[in-house]
Amino acid sequence: MNMSDTPRPGTTMISVVVPVYCGANYVEALTAALDELRREWLEQGAPFLLAETIFVDDAAIDDSGPLIDRLALKYPWVVPLHLSRNFGQHPATIVGILHSSGDWVVTMDEDLQHRPEVIKLLLRKAVTGHDDIVYAKPASAVHEAAIRDWTSRSFKRVMQWLTDNPNLSSFNSFRLIRGPVARAAASVCSHDTYLDITLGWFTQSIGVLNVEMKDERYIQTKRSGYSLRSLLSHGWRMIFSSQIKLLRIGSILGLSAMLFSVVAAAYFLIVRIFYPMDIGVQGWTSLFLAITFFGGLSAFMLGIALQYLSSMILRAHGKPTFFTIDRSGDAAGAAWLAQRADPQP
């Protein structure tokens, strides 16, 4: 860990992870803003210290790589990492998390839509609410483009329905994560798993903070960092990291079809015995009931088998049976924050 100031015993260390792909116009200002936050905490004698900022060069298409190397020479707490090729935002974030050492890990974008001063609000929310993860959720339209913002919201709603994950609508790359949780989740992530889904394997103490955000890069250029292909990739990994709701629905529909066929068989048997003249066409009931019953049985058994297979896949990907967390260090930070006014997001 690189830092120029020796922390006091009991100080809560904060690591910041920033994936960099096209950030030459932003990372210097971002680093200056983080340095201002770091100095503010030092001057106030806060129980928090921004110990390191890890910039992960994801084979940047501009001069971001050499720039973060120069920033590391100027700021001892800046750590540059360079990936061998472009792996994408999530793998770059995972690399940064695995190289972090802080008690808390903040992940944020390079383009200043995630303001460093909001880190204070995320910390306040976490230590006072005993949260292990706090997502910064946009309080209003981020892109100031109706179609783009609607697409983003709709995509999350569909994924939330498919995965039955109540936290999915709050997923954001601006997050505060308890260090042990972040590193445990990052250590089991693969190409087919989604970081935010994996975080939920280790804790359900997840908070949300509404924050004003604006994607100035998109507003100015109208160019999104996410293509249709990348969105589909995100969706696939979200589904593959979850026990799919559709599998349970398939099992329920199959069981319902079986029950329906049994009830219908009882009904037609009663009609056959007591009202035989009401049956106009002979033979179709047995065929209908057989198809319904065995079709429902097949759907039910297939759904059960696929759910079991899904559970085995998640276990193979590293989903833990249990995970322990020590939250005792939150008390000092909560006590210090209680003496200060709650800043506005």
Distance CA 243, CA 237 (A): 12
What confidence score (pLDDT) does residue 267 get? 83
pLDDT at 2 exceeding the cut of 50: no
Picking from 249, 239, 214, the residue whose alpha carbon sits closest to that of residue 155 is: 239
pLDDT tens digits for 147-164? 766 777 777 777 777 777
CA distance 9 to 199: 29
Least confident of 46-50, 51-55, 263-267: 263-267
Question: Strand, helix or coil at 23?
Answer: coil
Cα torsion 142, 146, 147, 152: sign: positive
Task: Specify the pTM.
Answer: 0.79
Are 160 and 168 in contact, with CB atoms under 8 Å apart?
Answer: yes
Task: Please state, in angstroms and rounded to a whole number, the distance separating the CA atoms of residues 345 and 332.
Answer: 22
Q: How high is the mean pLDDT of the chain?
A: 85
Burial class (CB in 10 A: 0-12, 13-18, 19+), 162: middle
**Using CA of residue 175, residue 181, residue 184, residue 189, what is the dihedral sign?**
negative
What is residue 3's predicted lDDT score, i.e. its pLDDT? Answer: 43
Q: How confident is the model at residue 102 (pLDDT cuts 50, 70, 90)?
A: very high
**210, two tokens:** 């509404």
| pLDDT (0 to 100) of residue 1 | 45
